[in-house]
């Protein structure tokens, strides 16, 4: 039998380069898209190979695998999120178990690895594991890591009774915790008409730093919000918002960080040769249409010019979107003829669309805001030279637009490809009539006009959940479910065995519901405690640890179910190495339940019964 390879890149790869190397040669190198992730080759030389996956704008991940002689070798990688959850840039494909793992598998000898030529980021990533290399201590530098902690909260609001009036969000959400990173997924609401313009706003409050907001695109296929703790200091918060659907995400990645080759691949393999008008159909995604329009503006050498009829229809269908008017304004300027009268008319038309963009509200995308700024500055320069030829009323309208744009610059920000803005300081506005960011935030959001989906504490490289404070232990409103109202059990974990059982006492509903054992089948659930500056709260580090004999692949996870006073009260925690770990802050003892879906195992730990637990945990 011939030695062959069937290689499949991660199924959530949107757009990026895949390079497979072995035996001193590059055997494959291509720009992958959702429908172009597979590589096939026969008569391949057996040995150790590496695959480097580099999504546009994202740090690469490498997987080392073995091609065995005389076999049809199948290497199917897990999601890119799973690869990056290991905490290393390099992982390994275990051929015997057909899964990707964080450590060198038993089936792969060190002699094999020594023959593989690896980039620096690969060899350093696992040098400690195989004892092959050590970093030069002379190159090591001491880095000061802040021990400061800051309270944070994340909330969602949706539009009510007209522009800029927002009320609580009633949709669903689920959460997953990686090391120092929280992912919140908002699923598709099939009852929502995306073209109706019922906008949703995301708010993030960081204690004594800022309150940051953005309009949240509710993409067809779902929206994923990633919140990452900065590695050295809690003074900032890394926020990223992406579509769940890989094809939609390819559009955003290409717009934000795509090379010419990657953008061309998105044009050919994602957008294809379909009629652009289909992007404006009733069942189409309005944000996909806006991303396609922005791509055409940013990469005019790769995309065909935007048709005026298409741009006009986009504005008609998405009249609530700042970004749609920006695309229309750019199209008006791009087709201006060389005569002075035609140029004057194009400038006036573009300024009119930009004014409508301001009225519509804030942009969804950072590039839309950049494009708006470029056109505003260009029109201002044009009018300085040609104002006498232009209608004075049009000039005055533009001057008002320009003044407002300049006044609001201090509040403008961005998070990756998303446009964000900062809450203003009301005292500065009242006393000095200037717009400046508000820096006195408590880290809490108001519940009356916002659905809070996460409350916690931010530290250097760490995110903890806060809940269960003094006087917070109360009987459950719904005794049939140990989860808070921010989590929908049908969406998150329909097969969790604990939900089929009667809950425990009202003040400790998880007690006895998860089997009563903290250790069995090669896994152990433990809790450790750390003091905090707040005498009413204690940090609890919950750890589910797997023995070496337990089978774990990259991306495996456990559900940690907490007391209902936490928001959220259940979190999906991904294993890093052989540990799934969750940091929380609480007052009072309660029972933690853990469910390991892949193995079908349950664990239970009553914090109040741990001998070394502090006083505020042992007594309510």
Residue 407 confidence class, pLDDT cut points 50, 70, 90? very high
Alpha-carbon distance of 350 to 343, in angstroms, equals 10
* Residue among 233, 285, 282, 283 nearest 270 (CA): 285
Which phi and psi angles does 439 have, rounded to 5°? -110, 5
- Mean pLDDT for all residues in the chain: 86
Residue 525 confidence class, pLDDT cut points 50, 70, 90? very high
* Bridge partners for 166 per DSSP: 159
Q: Tell me what pLDDT residue 118 has.
A: 53
Percent of the chain with pLDDT over 70: 88
Domains, the chain, in order of start with CATH, read 4-139 (2.60.40.10), 152-244+416-449 (no CATH), 467-618 (2.60.40)
Higher pLDDT, 350 or 189: 350
* Residue among 547, 542, 529 nearest 603 (CA): 542
Token pair for 83:
């690869």
**Mean pLDDT confidence for 90-107:** 88
* Residue among 329, 344, 353 nearest 383 (CA): 344
Task: Indicate the range of 136-145, 452-461, 518-527 predicted with least confidence.
Answer: 136-145
Q: Tell me what pLDDT residue 110 has.
A: 59
Q: Tell me what pLDDT residue 137 has.
A: 38
Q: Tell me what pLDDT residue 464 has.
A: 82
* Residue among 420, 61, 17 nearest 241 (CA): 420
Q: Evaluate if residue 48 carries a pLDDT over 50.
A: yes
Which phi and psi angles does 218 have, rounded to 5°? -95, 80
Residue 179 confidence class, pLDDT cut points 50, 70, 90? low
Place of tokens 């991660």: 10
**Mean pLDDT confidence for 339-365:** 94
Q: Evaluate if residue 471 carries a pLDDT over 50.
A: no
Select the highest-mean-pLDDT range: 111-115, 186-190, 318-322.
318-322
Residues 6+ apart with CB under 8 A from 97: 105, 551, 553
Give me the DSSP letters along 201-212.
EEEEEETTTEEE
Q: Tell me what pLDDT residue 397 has.
A: 95
Residue 336's alpha-carbon distances to 249, 341, 383, 386, 528, in angstroms, are 33, 10, 15, 15, 68
Q: Tell me what pLDDT residue 303 has.
A: 95
Alpha-carbon distance of 149 to 441, in angstroms, equals 14
Q: Evaluate if residue 353 carries a pLDDT over 60.
A: yes
Residue 253 has a CB neighbour count (10 Å cut-off) of: 25
Place of tokens 């691949």: 265
Q: Tell me what pLDDT residue 163 has.
A: 60
Which phi and psi angles does 263 have, rounded to 5°? -65, -40
CA 111, 112, 117: angle at the middle one, nearest 5?
110
Token pair for 303:
């995309």
Q: Tell me what pLDDT residue 476 has.
A: 31
Alpha-carbon distance of 573 to 408, in angstroms, equals 40
């Amino acid at each position: 039998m011939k030695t062959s390879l069937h290689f499949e890149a991660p199924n959530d790869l949107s757009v990026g380069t895949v390079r497979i190397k072995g035996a001193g040669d590059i055997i494959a190198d291509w720009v992958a898209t959702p429908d172009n992730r597979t590589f096939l080759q026969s008569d391949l030389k057996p040995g150790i190979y590496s695959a480097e996956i580099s999504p546009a704008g994202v740090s690469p991940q490498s997987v080392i695998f073995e091609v065995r002689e005389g076999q049809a070798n199948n290497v199917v990688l897990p999601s890119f999120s799973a690869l990056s959850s290991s905490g290393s840039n390099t992982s390994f494909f275990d051929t015997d178990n057909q899964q990707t793992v964080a450590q060198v598998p038993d089936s792969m000898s060190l002699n094999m690895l020594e023959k593989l030529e690896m980039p620096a980021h690969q060899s350093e990533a696992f040098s400690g594991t195989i004892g092959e290399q050590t970093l030069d201590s002379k190159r090591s530098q001491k880095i000061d890591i802040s021990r400061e902690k800051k309270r944070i909260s994340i909330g969602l609001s949706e539009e009510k009774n007209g522009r800029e009036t927002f009320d609580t969000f009633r949709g669903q959400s689920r959460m997953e915790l990686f090391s120092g990173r929280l992912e919140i997924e908002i699923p598709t609401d099939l009852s929502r008409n995306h073209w109706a313009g019922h906008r949703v706003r995301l708010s993030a409050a960081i204690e004594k730093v800022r309150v940051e907001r953005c309009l949240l695109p509710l993409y067809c296929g779902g929206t994923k919000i990633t919140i990452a703790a900065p590695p050295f200091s809690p003074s900032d918060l890394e926020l990223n918002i992406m579509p769940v659907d890989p094809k939609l995400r390819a559009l955003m990645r290409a717009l934000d960080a795509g090379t010419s080759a990657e953008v061309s691949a998105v044009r050919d393999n994602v957008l294809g040769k379909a009629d652009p008008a289909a992007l404006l159909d009733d069942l189409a995604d309005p944000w996909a249409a806006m991303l396609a329009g922005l791509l055409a503006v940013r990469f005019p050498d790769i995309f065909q010019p935007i048709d005026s009829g298409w741009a006009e229809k986009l504005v008609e269908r998405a009249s609530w979107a700042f970004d749609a008017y920006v695309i229309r304004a750019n199209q008006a300027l791009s087709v201006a003829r060389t005569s002075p009268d035609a140029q004057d008319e194009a400038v006036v038309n573009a300024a009119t669309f930009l004014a409508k963009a301001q009225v519509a509200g804030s942009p969804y995308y950072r590039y839309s805001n950049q494009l708006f700024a470029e056109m505003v500055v260009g029109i201002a320069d044009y009018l300085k030279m040609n104002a006498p030829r232009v209608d004075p009323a049009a000039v005055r309208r533009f001057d008002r637009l320009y003044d407002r744009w300049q006044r609001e610059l201090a509040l403008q920000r961005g998070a990756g490809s998303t446009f964000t803005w900062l809450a203003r300081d009301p005292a500065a506005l009242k006393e000095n009539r200037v717009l400046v960011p508000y820096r006195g935030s408590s880290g809490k959001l108001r519940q009356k006009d916002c659905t809070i989906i996460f409350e916690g504490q931010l530290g250097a490289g760490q995110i903890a959940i806060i809940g269960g404070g003094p006087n917070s232990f109360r009987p459950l409103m719904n005794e049939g479910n140990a989860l808070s109202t921010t989590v929908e059990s049908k969406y998150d974990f329909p097969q969790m065995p604990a939900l089929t059982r009667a809950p425990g006492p009202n003040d400790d509903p998880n007690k006895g519901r998860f089997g009563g054992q903290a250790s069995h089948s090669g896994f152990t659930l433990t809790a450790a405690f750390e003091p905090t500056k707040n005498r009413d709260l204690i940090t609890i580090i919950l750890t589910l640890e797997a023995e070496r004999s337990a089978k774990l692949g990259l991306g495996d996870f456990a559900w940690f179910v907490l007391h209902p006073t936490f928001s959220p009260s259940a979190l999906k925690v991904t294993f890093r190495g052989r540990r799934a770990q969750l940091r929380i802050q609480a007052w009072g003892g309660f029972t933690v339940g853990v469910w390991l879906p892949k193995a079908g195992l349950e664990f239970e730990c009553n914090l109040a019964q741990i001998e070394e637990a502090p006083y505020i945990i042992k007594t309510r």
